[in-house]
Amino acid sequence: MAGEADLRPLIALVDESSKMAGVEFSTLYLAQHIDRSRYRVVVICPEEGDLPARCRAAGVEVVIEPAPRFMSTSIEIGRVYVPNPLSWGVNLLRLIGLASRHAALYRRLDAALICTKGVFAHLYGTLAARIARRPAVIHMQDLLANPLYIRVFGTFARLARRVIADGTPIRDQLAPFVGADRVDLIYNGVDLEQFSTAVSGEGVRAEWGIDSDTVLIGNVARLTSWKGQDVLLKAFIRLAPDYPKTKLVLVGSPVFHGDAFEAELRRLAAESGFSDRMIFAGFRWDLPEVLAALDIFVYPSIRKDTSPLSLVSAMASGLPLLTSDVGGVAELLTHTEDGLIVPAADVNALGSALRQMLDNPDLRQRLGAAARRTAERSLSLSIFARQCESAFERAKL
């Protein structure tokens, strides 16, 4: 009847950023695929940007709740992240104020459950949920490295009813604080029709000037030091003289960081003598077509990654995969069955595995087909969404 109250519970997905990176794509995917016959969904963002725009385009309700700019809790010195003590006091005051505003928003929306996305959102979102007396679920997709940060975050995590971890390392990191029975291991998922072997990459290859005889090696990830693109670049430079019909493309941008690392990558390329065979493609929205354009996908993270969406997308696209053994990345694959796994930050090992793939097209075909089957079996968006809904239901008990 017209005017009848909508009794479906409202799930509020609280994201700390409006820029698109892996966490934000996960937010978008979950918002799109939550069972609308059972739930309503709203995405709460700190400002206008790509995430709210894409949510609205998908028919997902968006609320903008402005947030102060939080100071980085660590400073990168070389390749080492060290704590930034000044940030703690400043961020705490800002966090308390933001949590108060979010608590009022949750009451006003009559949200049945809060799901936080992003480290700072976990902090202010769970605090706000406790103030508003709403159950909260932390969807944790960041593996923390500093012991102090782990203890602080673990304390806040106790405010949540449940934690969703997108990799075993995160589950093991948080279980001592909240209890293993309150942590759900749920890998990221992707649309298996959007990412598939049926997608054509010919247009992208033509755009990049890649002919059909060239083997295109690629990586898709945020350009930041811990993603290990420099390791891939160095490995490619070493093998380039022996494989003249190969090219390398790096797809991504710094997003949340400065461009110093990207500048270093470009310097390495320029000094190698092979810069004409390397492409810096920047951020791309047409990821299915970009992946379809590749012949080999390499994910060389050197620390803390869990179940990155670009890797899952490459699996669904049926690409032969070469990954490092860092974090939860390696648990998505079985070495030599649906991918090759090498030690992290090891240029020689990465180069050797690349040579193995370049020398053996049959191996590439077999690994790619197996990766697709793995994605179909356990990494679809429908599986991801249903598992998240189950975690939400357990949190409401």
Nearest CA among 95, 122, 144 for reference residue 303: 144
The residue-averaged pLDDT of 95-119 equals 98
The residue-averaged pLDDT of 356-373 equals 99
Q: What pTM was computed for the model?
A: 0.92
Query: How many CB atoms lie under 10 A from the CB of residue 61?
Result: 15
DSSP-derived letter for residue 229 is: H
Contact 220, 280 (CB under 8 A): no
In this predicted structure, what is the pLDDT of residue 73?
A: 67
Backbone angles phi, psi at 375, to 5 degrees: -65, -45
Backbone angles phi, psi at 249, to 5 degrees: -125, 135
Contact 350, 235 (CB under 8 A): yes
- Overall CATH class of domain 202-378: alpha beta
pLDDT at 122 over 60: yes
Tens of pLDDT, residues 265-276: 999 999 999 999
Where is 10: in which H helix or E strand?
A: strand 10-15
In the chain, which segments carry CATH 3.40.50.2000?
A: 10-189+380-396, 202-378
Tens of pLDDT, residues 325-338: 997 898 999 999 99
pLDDT band at 2 (very low <50, low <70, confident <90, very high): low
Contact 295, 315 (CB under 8 A): no
The residue-averaged pLDDT of 198-203 equals 99
Q: What is the rounded end-to-end Cα distance, in angstroms, of the chain?
A: 30
Tens of pLDDT, residues 279-327: 999 999 999 999 999 999 999 999 888 899 999 999 999 999 999 999 7
CATH superfamily, region 10-189+380-396: Glycogen Phosphorylase B; (3.40.50.2000)
CA distance 279 to 300: 17
CA distance 265 to 247: 15
pLDDT at 177 over 80: yes
Question: Please, what is the average pLDDT of the chain?
Answer: 95
